């Protein structure tokens, strides 16, 4: 288990794109400490802010996070990263495989464009969790994103594939969804706005757009399979599907092949 211990609050935003278990495994202590992670004109090296202890394993622990740590685990292709603290934007963005855990809060765009692996945020996430960044094709794109606390607005915006579980999400959860599954114990106003396909499972919810129409209550085998799948990640979310469900179809303003399952 390699460990990076934060010594002091970083004076500028840091970019952790190149800090993965795989990239550190081939480096000596000195080489790792000299990795550029700063984003300002002054620049900053890994050793300036962190105490580095390497053992060439596929597990990396970042002891002491900070909201200025951007792109932690971005493009991760394997191994495990555990952050004991907060992270900044784009946690696990574009990640393909591996396990990423944050014990504190995450900034915006967590899991954006992630195609595989599992991202767990034990605290809250910012806006656009599992959402697409500017100009990107899709948000969450096959990975599993679990947020135990609250997520901000636009959670799962333009998500295309994968599973997103969140405690409470703000407004526009699952907006413009292309496909995939988003389950939330609570969402704000206009969930699924502009969604084309995909499935939203929600407990309490804010105002639904008038372009979602109720299609009655169903007893589908798919729902029981989905519940079994969700139970492996979160019992609370699977329990939503055991409650009486109303199904809404939409968004009629677009392709209208999406659905919202609202637990009664």
Partner 1 sequence: MPAWVKGAAADMDTALSAAVELLGAARTPVIAGLNADVSAIRAAYDLAGRVGASVDTLGAAGTYAELGALSRVGAMTSTPAEVVGRADAVLVVGSAPWNAALSARILDARPSRGRAAGSDRALLALGGSAPQGGTTIPAENGILPALALLRAHLRGHLADDSPIAGAAERLSGSLYVAVLYDPAEIGEFGVETVQGLVVDLNDRTRAFALPVQGGNQDRAVVPVAAWTTGQAPRVGFGRRVPEHDPWRFDAARQVAAGEADAALWIASVPAPAPDWLGRVPSIALMGDAAADAAEVVIGVGVPGRDHGGVLWNDTRAALTYWPAQGAGAPADLPSAAAVIGQLAQRLAGRSETAC
Tell me which residues touch partner 1 (CB under 8 A): 11-13, 38-43, 67-68, 70, 89, 108-109, 133-135, 158, 172, 175-176, 190, 193-194, 207, 209-211, 251-254, 256
- What is the closest distance, in whole angstroms, from the C-beta atom of residue 249 to partner 1 in the complex? 10
- What is the closest distance, in whole angstroms, from the C-beta atom of residue 253 to partner 1 in the complex? 4
Residue closer to partner 1, measured from CB, 172 or 237: 172
Residue closer to partner 1, measured from CB, 80 or 157: 157
Residue closer to partner 1, measured from CB, 150 or 157: 157
Residue closer to partner 1, measured from CB, 11 or 29: 11
- What is the closest distance, in whole angstroms, from the C-beta atom of residue 235 to partner 1 in the complex? 33
Per-residue CA distances from 219 to 114, 164, 231, 244 (Å)? 32, 23, 18, 10
- What is the closest distance, in whole angstroms, from the C-beta atom of residue 135 to partner 1 in the complex? 4
Q: Assign 3-class secondary structure to the chain.
A: CEEEEECCCCCCCEECCCCCHHHHHCCCHHHHHCCECECCCCCCEHHHHEEEECCCCCEEEEECCCCCEECCCCCCEEEEEEEECCCCCCCCCCCCEEEEEECCCECCCCCCCCCCCEEEECCCECCCCCCCCCCCCCCCEEEEEEEEEEECCCCCCCCCEEEEEEEEECCCCCCCCCCCEEEEEEECCCCCCCCCCCEEEEEEECCCCCCCEECCCCCCHHHHHHHHHHHCCCHHHHHHCCCCEEEEEECCCCCCCEEEEEEC
Residue closer to partner 1, measured from CB, 82 or 172: 172
- What is the closest distance, in whole angstroms, from the C-beta atom of residue 9 to partner 1 in the complex? 10
Residue closer to partner 1, measured from CB, 15 or 54: 15
- What is the closest distance, in whole angstroms, from the C-beta atom of residue 226 to partner 1 in the complex? 26
């Amino acid at each position: 288990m390699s460990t990076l211990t934060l010594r002091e609050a970083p004076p500028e935003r840091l970019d952790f794109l190149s800090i993965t278990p795989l990239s550190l495994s081939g480096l000596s202590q000195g080489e790792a400490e000299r990795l550029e992670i700063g984003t300002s004109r002054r620049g900053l090296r890994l050793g300036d802010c962190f105490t580095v202890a390497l053992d060439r394993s596929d597990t990396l622990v970042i002891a002491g996070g900070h909201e200025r740590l951007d792109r932690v685990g971005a493009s991760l292709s394997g191994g495990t990263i555990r952050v004991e603290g907060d992270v900044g934007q784009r946690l696990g963005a574009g990640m393909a495989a591996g396990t990423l855990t944050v014990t504190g809060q995450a900034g915006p765009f967590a899991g954006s464009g992630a195609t595989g692996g599992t991202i767990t945020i034990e605290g809250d996430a910012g806006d656009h969790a599992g959402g697409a960044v500017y100009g990107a094709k899709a948000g969450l794109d096959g990975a599993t994103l679990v947020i135990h606390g609250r997520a901000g607005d636009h959670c799962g915006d333009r998500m295309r594939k994968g599973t997103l579980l969140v405690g409470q999400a703000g407004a526009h959860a699952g907006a413009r969804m292309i496909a995939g599954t988003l389950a939330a114990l609570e969402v704000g106003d206009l969930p699924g706005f502009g969604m084309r396909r995909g499935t939203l499972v929600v407990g309490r919810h804010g105002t639904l757009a008038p372009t979602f129409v109720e299609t009655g209550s169903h007893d589908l085998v798919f729902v029981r399979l989905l519940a079994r799948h969700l139970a492996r990640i979160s019992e609370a979310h699977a329990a939503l599907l055991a409650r009486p469900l109303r199904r809404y179809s939409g968004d009629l303003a677009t392709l209208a092949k999406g659905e919202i399952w609202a637990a009664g």
